[in-house]
Structures are given as structure tokens and as C-alpha cells.
Amino acid sequence: MLAALALLLFGYAVAGSVGGLIPRNPGWRPPPKGVTIWVEDNGVHTGLILPKRAAGIDWTADFPAADLADPRYAGHDHVAIGWGERGFYLGTPTWWDVRPGVLLGAAFGSDSTLVHVEHVPRPLLGDDVRAIVLRPEEYRRLAAAIRTSRAAGPAVRGYYGYDAFYPGAGRYDAITTCNAWTGHTLAVAGVRVGRWTPFPATVMRWF
């Protein structure tokens, strides 16, 4: 059984790596000017950092100050948005809180998902934060894809004063991971990215 599990994990890693090398939207190139967004990586999870107001999109109505434990953080001009499995998100405020049972539950799949939103300042570039320039119409497609990832329902207070959770739409499993969500959302906007991006590296290598 251990050998079969090891083989399964190895096959998953290989498939994810290969899927991340095959491009969607291979002809896409960033414009010289447009809306700057960022993709961030904390080592396990990727998400998108977006200006609150750009190209006719205003996130302040989607994610109001009243949803924060400390509404003062709503004064920041960007939001960081990610999507993932509810139990994993709520049960792991830091990666030191990760437990095997939580990981296995997420890997086998769950219809209970959340959108995580942080109110943040404009980020600084680094190895874990990469900038992407989008055309206005691409940014609007990105925003539409993010909005379809959210379900109706009230916000849940986050870990800190500057973040909140919202009910998510869609099923989380080993195929549709938080990183696959990031890659798919960028691809819907028209950005060149891997066809399947289950790992942070499969997202970040494109930017």
C-alpha cells in the first residue's frame, strides 16, 4: 500500500509539472500599458493582488470595510484574493497549523469552499510576488471570473483585522486546487499560463 501511495504521489507530481509546462493562450503578450496586477506565492498557495478600482471594476462594493474586524484596513488600495477549501482555510491560520487530516480531507474533495480576501497596500516585487500587466478588457474578464468563484452568503471574519472569508462556488479537490484556481482565472482573462497549475511553481514560472 505504501508503494502504491508513493507511486500515486509521484505520478501526481509528474502530471502537475507537465501540465504546468503546456501553455494556455500561447500567443498572449502583456501590453506596454494597462492594469497592473500581481500573483503572489507563500510557498504552498498562490493568489491574485488587484487594485480596488481599475478599468471600471470597483471591489469596494464586493468586499466592504464592514466585513473586516478592523475597518481601517479598508483604506488600503488593493485586495489579495484566493480561493480554497473551507476546512483547510479556516483551520490553518499558519502553515504550522496544517494537520494530515485537514490535508487529506481537502485532497479527496469538498464542495465547501471559500474566497479569502485581504485588504493590502500596493505590493513590492520579489521572488514571491510577480507583476502582470493586463489590457482593460482582460482585467474585466478576470474580475468576472473571480466573481463567479463566490457564492451568496455573509462574510466570515478572517485571521486578522485586514482579511475576511466569503462563501465560495465550485468544488475543491486534488485537481482543482487553490493554485489551479489561480492559473485558470488568469487563463480565462486571456493570460498565457500553464494548462493545469496544481502547484505554486506551475503558476509562478510563467511570470
Handedness of CA 129, 130, 131, 132 (dihedral sign): negative
At residue 107, what is the residue type? A
3-class state of residue 64 by DSSP: coil
User: For 143-154, how does the pLDDT look when each residue is reduced to its tens digit (9 = 90+)?
Assistant: 999 999 999 999
Q: Are residues 77 and 51 in contact, defined by beta-carbon separation less than 8 angstroms?
A: yes
Percentage of the residues of the chain whose pLDDT score is greater than 90:
73
Q: Are residues 156 and 205 in contact, defined by beta-carbon separation less than 8 angstroms?
A: no
Which DSSP helix (H) or strand (E) runs through 49?
Answer: strand 46-51
User: For 27-70, how does the pLDDT look when each residue is reduced to its tens digit (9 = 90+)?
Assistant: 999 999 999 999 999 888 899 999 999 999 999 999 999 999 99
Cα 115 from Cα 60, distance rounded (Å): 15
Cα 133 from Cα 20, distance rounded (Å): 21
The C-alpha cell that represents 130 in the structure block = 510577480
The C-alpha cell that represents 182 in the structure block = 489561480
Per-residue confidence (pLDDT) for residue 139, from 0 to 100: 98
For the chain of 207 residues, list the mean pLDDT of each consecutive stretch of 10.
Answer: 72 85 97 97 92 98 97 98 88 62 67 96 92 98 98 94 97 93 98 96 96
